[in-house]
C-alpha cells in the first residue's frame, strides 16, 4: 500500500494541493487533494509530472555531485562540497574586493525551491555580498503587472482570488490563455460560464476561452495600449462608468480623459483590427455586469509598454468600480508555482521581503539590525534582463544563477551566451544540467521539489506548505543549506535547523505575512496575505471598502499613448513571431522534458502554429519541418497548421532546444519593468523540400545537444 504525502504541485501558479503516492521510497503516482484552489482536481502536469525525480535522463541528467573547473576551457570535475564551497566563496570575495559588490548579480528561483530558500538567497545577496543585484524570472513575465498595479492601486498581486472567478458575472480576458497556462484556473472560467457569466476575450488567437466567449475580439498583434485606451474612451463617452466610485475613490480622471479622448473606437479600429462596434460592445458587457473580473497574462506584459497597458486595465476596473469587493478585480495570473512567493521574499532589486523598499532608511535599519550587519545597500540593483548589456559595459563580472536557465528563457540567446562567456565567474545552483550550466565554473547540486519541504505562494497570494516525499539520490543539499555554507565560508556565520526557523525569521520582519504560521498551513491550510497577526483570517480580496494601498487611499487612473511594436516588418522579415505556452510543458522544460508521459505528448523541435492561408502561401504542409529566422537567428521547427492562429502571425513555445524561439526574439524592453517584447518579432519562414533530410538533421542536433549536456555531468 502506497503512503500518501500531501504537497503542492510544482508547476503553474494555481496552487493545487496533491498527494504523492510513495512506495519503497519511490514515487509511484499522484492524486488530487482537496486544496482551496483545486478542489481535488489536477491537470496532466500534476498527475503525470513527477517521474523526473527518478532521473529518467530523457532530456538531461540530474546533478548529483558538486562540479568545478578552476580554469575556463577545462572540463568540469566532480569535487567535494567543501572544495566547491571554498572555491565559490573565495572567488566571490576576490571579485567583490576587485570590482565592488555591485559587480555581482544573483538570481532567485520561482520554481521548486520555495520561499525559505529564496529568503535566504536575498539575505545572502544583501547582507553577505552587499548588493541589491538580485532578480528572478518575474522580470520576463509579470513584472509589468507588479509595477503597473503598484502604481495605480498599490499592490502588485491579484486583487481577488482564484475561487472567486467562478462567481463573477463577467470575465474579461486580455492576452491570457488559461487553458494552456493554468488548466485549473481555466476550470473556474468554464464554471463561471455554466453559472451564467458573460465572457469577453481579446486575443489574436482563437484560444480555448474564446471558443466559449459571448464576445471574442480577434485583435491585431501589437495594438494593446490603443485598444485599452479605446475601452476607457467608450466607458466615458457612453457614460458607462461609475461616477460615484470615480469621484470618491480615484484621482487623475481629467488627465486620463484627456489622453483617451483621441482613442475613439473608430480611430482604433484599424490599429486593433476589430470593429468600433465590437469595441463598444465589449465595454457595454463589462460595464453592465454587477461584478466583473479582468484576467490577463503574458499577452499584456511581454511588450515594450506592458506597464502602461497594466495601468490601463487597472483604470477600467477603477472606472467601473470593480475593485474592493468579492468576485471582481484585476487578475494578473502568475505563471510559475512560486513566482508570487519569490516576489514576496524580496528577490527583486528594489524591495526587501514583504515589499519593503530598499530605499527606505527605516526598512534598511530594521533588516540590518535583524541580520546583524552595520549597513545594507541603499540603491536598487540591476534587473535580470539588463545582464548582457551590463557585462558589455564592464559593470558585471560574476553571475550566480539559482534555479533558472537564462540561456533558454531570456531573449536574444546569442547575447546571453556572449555575456556568460565574458563573466569571470558563473555559479549555477540547480537540480538538472541545463543550457546555462554549460557556461558554469561551479555547479552546486540541490534537492528538488519532492525531496524537501517549505512554503509556496500561489497566484492569489495563498501560502501553502509543500512536503518532502522521498530521500534525494546523490550528494545534494537543500538550497538554503548551500547558501548558509557559502555565507559562513565568506565570514558571515549562517545556520538554520530547518525551513520553519527561516520562515519564523521572515514572518518577524514582514508585517504582511506575520500571521501565516506553519501551524496554520498544516495539511490543507491556506493563508492569503496580507495576514498581519496569528488571529487574522487572511485576505481573500484586497482594497476592502474601496481603500487602495496608496498614501491617500485613492486609486490612480492612468493612460498612455500607444507605441507601435519595436521590431519592424519588412520584405525580408514579413511575418510576426509571437512566443506562447503549451499545456504539457513547463518553463525551460528540464522537469517536464524528463517526464515520460509529458514528453510523449510533445517533443523537439516544438510546433509553429500557423494559419492555413499563410501555410499555403509559403508552401508549408501540416507537420512539416520549416526554417524560421529573424534579424538575430534561425531555427528549425515543425508546422502545426491551425486557423486558431491569425493570418500574418506565427506562434512558438520557448522551451525547445532545437526550435529555440529565443534565438530569434529581441532584447527590447519596457522602460519601467525591463520586460522583453517576446510577443512581437519580425520573422521569415522557409519551407524545406527534403523533409527526410530535415528530420535526420533534427535528430542529429537533438542528440548532440543531449550528449553535450550529459557529458558535463559524466553520465
Compute the least distance from the CB of residue 37 to other proteins, in Å. 12
335 and 12 Cβ atoms separated by less than 8 Å:
yes
Q: What is the phi/psi pair of residue 199, to 5°?
A: -125, 125
Compute the least distance from the CB of residue 48 to other proteins, in Å. 5
Q: Which residues contact 70 (CB under 8 A, 6 or more apart)?
A: 87, 441
430 and 446 Cβ atoms separated by less than 8 Å:
yes
579 and 683 Cβ atoms separated by less than 8 Å:
no
Q: Which is nearer to other proteins, 12 or 106 (CB)?
A: 12
Cα–Cα distance measured from residue 667 to residue 675, given in angstroms and rounded to the nearest whole number: 9
Q: Which is nearer to other proteins, 275 or 600 (CB)?
A: 600
Q: Which is nearer to other proteins, 359 or 703 (CB)?
A: 703
Cα–Cα distance measured from residue 601 to residue 478, given in angstroms and rounded to the nearest whole number: 31
Q: Which is nearer to other proteins, 298 or 486 (CB)?
A: 298
Cα–Cα distance measured from residue 514 to residue 122, given in angstroms and rounded to the nearest whole number: 18
Q: Which is nearer to other proteins, 366 or 644 (CB)?
A: 644
Q: Which residues contact 571 (CB under 8 A, 6 or more apart)?
A: none
Angle at 569 between CA 566 and CA 574, to 5 degrees: 145
Compute the least distance from the CB of residue 580 to other proteins, in Å. 14
Compute the least distance from the CB of residue 200 to other proteins, in Å. 17
Compute the least distance from the CB of residue 599 to other proteins, in Å. 8
C-alpha cell at 282: 465589449
Q: Which is nearer to other proteins, 209 or 446 (CB)?
A: 209
Compute the least distance from the CB of residue 637 to other proteins, in Å. 18
Compute the least distance from the CB of residue 510 to other proteins, in Å. 34
Binding residues vs other proteins (CB under 8 A)? 28-29, 41-44, 47-48, 51, 54, 178-179, 183-184, 186-187, 190, 193-194, 206, 208, 211-212, 583-584, 596-597, 599-601, 603, 642-644
Residues paired with 683 in a beta bridge = 575, 630
Q: Which is nearer to other proteins, 20 or 186 (CB)?
A: 186
Compute the least distance from the CB of residue 173 to other proteins, in Å. 13
667 and 418 Cβ atoms separated by less than 8 Å:
no
Q: What is the dihedral of CA 301, 302, 303, 304, to 10 degrees?
A: 100
Compute the least distance from the CB of residue 220 to other proteins, in Å. 18
C-alpha cell at 443: 555547479
Q: Which is nearer to other proteins, 48 or 543 (CB)?
A: 48
Q: What is the phi/psi pair of residue 148, to 5°?
A: -70, -40
Q: What is the dihedral of CA 107, 110, 113, 118, to 10 degrees?
A: 50
Residue in the block written with cell 525580408: 572
Is 169 in a helix, a strand, or coil? coil
Compute the least distance from the CB of residue 43 to other proteins, in Å. 5
Cα Rg of the chain (Å, integer): 24
Q: Which is nearer to other proteins, 29 or 511 (CB)?
A: 29
Compute the least distance from the CB of residue 616 to other proteins, in Å. 15
Q: Given its phi and psi angles, is residue 583 left (phi above 0), alpha (psi -120 to 50 degrees) or beta?
A: alpha
Residue in the block written with cell 499577452: 299
398 and 126 Cβ atoms separated by less than 8 Å:
no
Q: Which is nearer to other proteins, 208 or 567 (CB)?
A: 208
Q: Which is nearer to other proteins, 66 or 297 (CB)?
A: 297
Amino acid at each position: 500500500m502506497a503512503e500518501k504525502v500531501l504537497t503542492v504541485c510544482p508547476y503553474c501558479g494555481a496552487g493545487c494541493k496533491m498527494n504523492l503516492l510513495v512506495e519503497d521510497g519511490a514515487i509511484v503516482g499522484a492524486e488530487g487533494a482537496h486544496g482551496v484552489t483545486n478542489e481535488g482536481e489536477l491537470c496532466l502536469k500534476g498527475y503525470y509530472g513527477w517521474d523526473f525525480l527518478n532521473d529518467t535522463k530523457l532530456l538531461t541528467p540530474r546533478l548529483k555531485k558538486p562540479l568545478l573547473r578552476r580554469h575556463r576551457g577545462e572540463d568540469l570535475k566532480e569535487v567535494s562540497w567543501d572544495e566547491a564551497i571554498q572555491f565559490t566563496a573565495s572567488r566571490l570575495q576576490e571579485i567583490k574586493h576587485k570590482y565592488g559588490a555591485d559587480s555581482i548579480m544573483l538570481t532567485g528561483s520561482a520554481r521548486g525551491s520555495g520561499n525559505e530558500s529564496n529568503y535566504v538567497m536575498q539575505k545572502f545577496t544583501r547582507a553577505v555580498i552587499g548588493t541589491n543585484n538580485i532578480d528572478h524570472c518575474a522580470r520576463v513575465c509579470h513584472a509589468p503587472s507588479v509595477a503597473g498595479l503598484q502604481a495605480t492601486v498599490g499592490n502588485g498581486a491579484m486583487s481577488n482570488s482564484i475561487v472567486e472567478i467562478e462567481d463573477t458575472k463577467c470575465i474579461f480576458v486580455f492576452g491570457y490563455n488559461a487553458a494552456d497556462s493554468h488548466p485549473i484556473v481555466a476550470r473556474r472560467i468554464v464554471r463561471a460560464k455554466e453559472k451564467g457569466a458573460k465572457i469577453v476575450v481579446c486575443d489574436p488567437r482563437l484560444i480555448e476561452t474564446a471558443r466559449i466567449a459571448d464576445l471574442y475580439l480577434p485583435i491585431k498583434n501589437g495594438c494593446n495600449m490603443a485598444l485599452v485606451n479605446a475601452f476607457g474612451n467608450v466607458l466615458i463617452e457612453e457614460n458607462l462608468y461609475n461616477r460615484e466610485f470615480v469621484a470618491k475613490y480615484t484621482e487623475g480622471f481629467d488627465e486620463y480623459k484627456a489622453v483617451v479622448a483621441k482613442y475613439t473606437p473608430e480611430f482604433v479600429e484599424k490599429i486593433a483590427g476589430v470593429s468600433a462596434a465590437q469595441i463598444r460592445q465589449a465595454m457595454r458587457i463589462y460595464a453592465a455586469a454587477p461584478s466583473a473580473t479582468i484576467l490577463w497574462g503574458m499577452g499584456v506584459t511581454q511588450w515594450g509598454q506592458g506597464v502602461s497597458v497594466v495601468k490601463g486595465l487597472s483604470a477600467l476596473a477603477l472606472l467601473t468600480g470593480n475593485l474592493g469587493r468579492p468576485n471582481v478585480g484585476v487578475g494578473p495570473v502568475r505563471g510559475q508555482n512560486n513566482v508570487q512567493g519569490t516576489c514576496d521574499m524580496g528577490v527583486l532589486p528594489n524591495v526587501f521581503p514583504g515589499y519593503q523598499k530598499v530605499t527606505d532608511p527605516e526598512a534598511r535599519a530594521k533588516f540590518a539590525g535583524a541580520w546583524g550587519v552595520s549597513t545594507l545597500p541603499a540603491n536598487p540593483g540591476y534587473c535580470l534582463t539588463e545582464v548582457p548589456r551590463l557585462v558589455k559595459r564592464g559593470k558585471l563580472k560574476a553571475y550566480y544563477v539559482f534555479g533558472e536557465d537564462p540561456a533558454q528563457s531570456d531573449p536574444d540567446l546569442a547575447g546571453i551566451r556572449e555575456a556568460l562567456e565574458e563573466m569571470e565567474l558563473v555559479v549555477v545552483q540547480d537540480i538538472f544540467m541545463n543550457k546555462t550550466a554549460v557556461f558554469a565554473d561551479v555547479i552546486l547540486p540541490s534537492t528538488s521539489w519532492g525531496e524537501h519541504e517549505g512554503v509556496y505562494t500561489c497566484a492569489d497570494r495563498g501560502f501553502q506548505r509543500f512536503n518532502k516525499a522521498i530521500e534525494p539520490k546523490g550528494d545534494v543539499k537543500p538550497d538554503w543549506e548551500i547558501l548558509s555554507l557559502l555565507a559562513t565560508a565568506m565570514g558571515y556565520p549562517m545556520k538554520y535547523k530547518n525551513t520553519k526557523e527561516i520562515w519564523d525569521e521572515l514572518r518577524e520582519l514582514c508585517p504582511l505575512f506575520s500571521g501565516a504560521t506553519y501551524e496554520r498551513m498544516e495539511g490543507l491550510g491556506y493563508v492569503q496575505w496580507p495576514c498581519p497577526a496569528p488571529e487574522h483570517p487572511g485576505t481573500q480580496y484586497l482594497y476592502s471598502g474601496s481603500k487602495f494601498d496608496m498614501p491617500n487611499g485613492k486609486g490612480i487612473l492612468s493612460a498612455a499613448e500607444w507605441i507601435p511594436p519595436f521590431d519592424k516588418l519588412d520584405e525580408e522579415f514579413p511575418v510576426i513571431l509571437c512566443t506562447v505556452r503549451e499545456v504539457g510543458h513547463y518553463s525551460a522544460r528540464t522537469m517536464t522534458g524528463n517526464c515520460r508521459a509529458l514528453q510523449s505528448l510533445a517533443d523537439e523541435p516544438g510546433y509553429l502554429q500557423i494559419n492555413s492561408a499563410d501555410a499555403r502561401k509559403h508552401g508549408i504542409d501540416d507537420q512539416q519541418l520549416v526554417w524560421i529566422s529573424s534579424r538575430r537567428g534561425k531555427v528549425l521547427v515543425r508546422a502545426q497548421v491551425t486557423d486558431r492562429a491569425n493570418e500574418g502571425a506565427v506562434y512558438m513555445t520557448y522551451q525547445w532546444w532545437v526550435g529555440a524561439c529565443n534565438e530569434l526574439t529581441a532584447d527590447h524592453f519596457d522602460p519601467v519593468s525591463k520586460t522583453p517584447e517576446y510577443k512581437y518579432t519580425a520573422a521569415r519562414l522557409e519551407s524545406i523540400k527534403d523533409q527526410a533530410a530535415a528530420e535526420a538533421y533534427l535528430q542529429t542536433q537533438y542528440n548532440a545537444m543531449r550528449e553535450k549536456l550529459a557529458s558535463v555531468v559524466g553520465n
